Every structure is written in structure tokens, then in C-alpha cells.
Amino acid sequence: MVGLVLSMYFFSLARARARGEGVAVAVAVARRGASTTTRRHKSTEKRKKRRRQDPNKENLRDGEAPRGRGAPRRGLSLSPPLSPLPSRSLGVFRCGKERPDPLYRYSPHQPPPPEPRRPNTACWSLPIKMLGSLISYSPSVNPKTENPDELIATGVLASLQNFIRKCIVAVLSYGPMPKHIAFIMDGNRRYAKFRSIQEGSGHRVGFSALIASLLYCYEMGVKYITVYAFSIDNFKRDPTEVKSLMELMEEKINELLENRNVINKVNCKINFWGNLDMLSEPVRVAAEKLMASTAENTGLVFSVCMPYNSTSEIVNAVNKVCAERRDILQREDADSVANNGVHSDISVADLDRHMYSAGCPDPDIVIRTSGETRLSNFLLWQTTFSHLQNPDPLWPEFSFKHLVWAILQYQRVHPYIEQSRNLAKKQL
């Protein structure tokens, strides 16, 4: 303590000489500084003594904030810890950076900082939902919805979907549009397998995709639609699966007979191409009844190939031509037939007249879904100049955007297809 007073005295004396002041001023300054230092020293010693006596008691003067290592930061309160932690785990400074401490929370006297601002997605969420729902033909409307705001939003969304779809169709119509599109509906079983749903459910979803594609084509002005529904080779599958498919065909055909909304909307004429005698009796009767009920319609021509393959179609056409010639030869005498100019040769035109597709133009586009690049014995006679496309999605996943892309691809190669077709006609 004496050394501290002497050092203060000599320091004050040196400063007084530098300023030109007297020794008395230096002594007064030294005494004032020494008394202040002494009081601080005594106060510190008292606090240390009290802490040693009661370490759990907060020995602070009134209004004095805690200091030192482990003290809470200003404006924050320390929540009771779950377990004793070392002091360095609290909010302390190390190397000039503050470490975050999960035990600290904001006190009620100081409001917490504002949350980070999130982007407002309300302005573009509606267009995204609208474009994504173009996959289905119509939005799912629940008539039991009691909230009028939801009904209004659904109606607005449906109107926007229809408007966008019409705009896309109008843009496509500036290019060459196909008159006949053929679909190989592949991937129904894989769709059910990948989604671990009941076997046969994939074909039901595929039927919904078929109706949607039919309506899309009608909006685009496509006159003829042909689908490969069931091949003759499919009878080689498991009998249980074949039976379930036949039951599904009968169910859907009867639905079209009872609920004719789709048929009346597009004024659709439905044909079944194939050997109908191979079908079960209920399915065959239902198919014949549906063909008879739509025979007079003049709108979209929808042809369903079941059970069908192109080889049997060609053989059937050859047999019909031969039977026709045989009848002519039996009615007329051989000399008179020769004089009338009837020849025994079979021409391409003769076969065309006896094909299942007689009266329909050849397909402009053949689409096989699931990425497969095989025709699987489908319309081999009619697809010489057709544009073959193999989109990756499975048939139940086929949607409006895939159909639009197929038409754009066709428009891109249309000049080459027409050139090849005209050249073949000249050679004939």
C-alpha cells in the first residue's frame, strides 16, 4: 500500500513539473488518487470475504450487474439448466467470437428479433397447380364441400385450366394436325407393380387415361383414334389375369352404354377390330351392342383393337378376298368371267377393302408408352408412313403434355413424311 502511495506521489510530481505547477498540487493529487484506490481495494476485499462465507448468495450492490466469466448477456435471462454445465458451455467469448448457447432465451423485457422473411408463394402457387392439373381432364370437385370459398376457387381453377388448354390447342392448330392417332397402351401392370397397388388397378387407371386422351384429341380436331387394348397373344397369360381383364372390359363397355355423356359429347362412333369370337360371351354381346348403338354417329371414330394382331388381320383379309373370288367363279361360267375381265390376281386395293381399318386413313402417329420401341404386331399393314413415338411414361401416366409434345414432334417431321408418301404413290 505504501508503495502504491509513493508511486502515485512521484507520478503526480512529474506531471506537475511538466505543467509548471507546484509541489503542493502534486501532493494533493497523489492523496486523492491514493484514497480512491484504497476505498476500491477495501470494497473488493469485503465482497470476496462475503462470497467465501456464502457462495450461493448473490453479493452485488444495488443496481450492479454481474460481471466476469459466465455472466448472462445484457437483455437475456438464463433459463434453469437441465444439468450442471461447465462455465465455458454458457455464452462466453472465445477468440473474439460469441458461441451460441441453447440455454439462453429472450427475456420478456426485450422483444425477440423478427423471424426471417419467407418468400410469398401465393402469387405463383395457383398457376403451378393449374398447369400441373392439366394431367386430368377435369378438376376433382367435391359436391359435399360446404365452404363456398373452396367452390369458388375450384371453379376459377377449372376455368383457367380450360383457357390455357384452348390456347395451347389454338397454337398447335397453326401447324399440320394429325387426322389419325394410334395408341399402344403399354405399362398398366408395371404401373400397379411400382406403386404396390392391387393387381388390375393399373388397368382401371389406364381406362381413365384413355377417356381423357379421347377428349383431348377431340378438342384438337383429331378425327380417328385407335387403341391396342388386347392382343391375341395376351390369351397366353395367366387365366386368372385374362378373366379379370375380360370382366373389366365388360364393366367398362356397360358403363359406356349406360352413361353416354362422353359418347354424346364427342358424337363418337365406336368400332371393335379383331376376332370377337375369341371373347367371352358377355363381352362379345356388350361390344356388339355398343357398336350398334353408335353406328349412326358422325363425330370422332374410336376403334378398339381386341382381341387383335396384325397377322390375323392380314390373313382374314386374304381369306375374304379369296372367298369373294370363289363366289364370283361359282356364279358365272369360266368363259363369261374371263370375258368380263375378272382376274384371279389379288391387289393391294383388294386387301385394303377387307381390312378391319377399311374406311379409315392410315395412322399419322403411333404412340407406344413406357419407352418400348416395338409395334407388337399392331397395324403392320397401315403404319408404313406413320411417325412412331415412344414416350417414357407408362400408359396410366400419359397426359395432355405428352400428347402435345407428340403432335409437335409430328409437325417437325411432317414434310418428310408427306414427301415419302407422295413418292410411294407415284411408284404405284
Per-residue pLDDT of the chain (428 residues; tens, 9 = 90+): 555 555 665 566 556 555 555 555 555 555 555 555 556 666 677 776 766 665 555 445 544 555 554 454 544 444 444 444 444 434 444 444 444 444 444 445 555 556 555 555 445 454 445 555 554 444 343 444 445 556 566 777 888 888 999 999 999 999 999 999 999 999 999 999 898 888 788 999 999 999 999 999 999 999 999 999 999 999 999 899 899 999 999 999 999 988 888 888 889 999 999 999 999 899 999 999 999 999 999 999 999 999 999 999 999 999 999 988 888 888 876 556 555 555 567 888 889 999 999 989 999 999 999 999 999 999 999 999 999 999 999 999 999 999 999 999 999 999 999 999 889 888 76
**C-alpha cell belonging to residue 275:** 376376332
Residues known to be catalytic: 186
What are the CA-CA distances from residue 28 to residues 16, 170, 246, 269, 329 (Å)? 11, 102, 117, 120, 151
Closest CA to 142 of 129, 131, 123, 155: 155
Please report, for the chain, the start and end positions of each structural domain, with discontinuous segments joined by +: 177-310+362-370+377-427
- Residue 236 CA, distance from chain mean position: 35
CB 395 within 8 A of CB 369: yes
**C-alpha cell belonging to residue 138:** 377435369
CB 306 within 8 A of CB 356: no
Closest CA to 249 of 217, 199, 285, 297: 285
Instruction: Give the Cβ contact number of residue 241 at 10 Å.
Output: 14
Sheet with strand 269-273: strands edge to edge: 269-273, 301-305, 224-228, 180-184, 365-368, 387-389
Torsion of the alpha carbons at 171, 175, 179 and 181, rounded to the nearest 10: -70
d(CA 406, CA 408): 5
pLDDT for position 24 = 52
Instruction: Give the Cβ contact number of residue 220 at 10 Å.
Output: 19
State whether the Cα torsion 14-15-16-20 is positive or negative: positive
d(CA 367, CA 331): 46
Residues 6+ apart with CB under 8 A from 37: 4, 8
CB 393 within 8 A of CB 370: yes
Q: Options 3.30.70.60, 3.40.1180.10, 2.60.450.10, 3.40.50.300; which CATH number does 177-310+362-370+377-427 get?
A: 3.40.1180.10
d(CA 219, CA 225): 13
pLDDT for position 419 = 92
Helix locations, 133-268, DSSP H: 148-172, 188-194, 201-220, 239-258, 261-266
pLDDT for position 27 = 52
**C-alpha cell belonging to residue 318:** 386374304
**C-alpha cell belonging to residue 260:** 353416354
pLDDT for position 6 = 56
pLDDT for position 201 = 87
Count of H-run helices and E-run strands, the chain: 13, 10
CB 22 within 8 A of CB 37: no
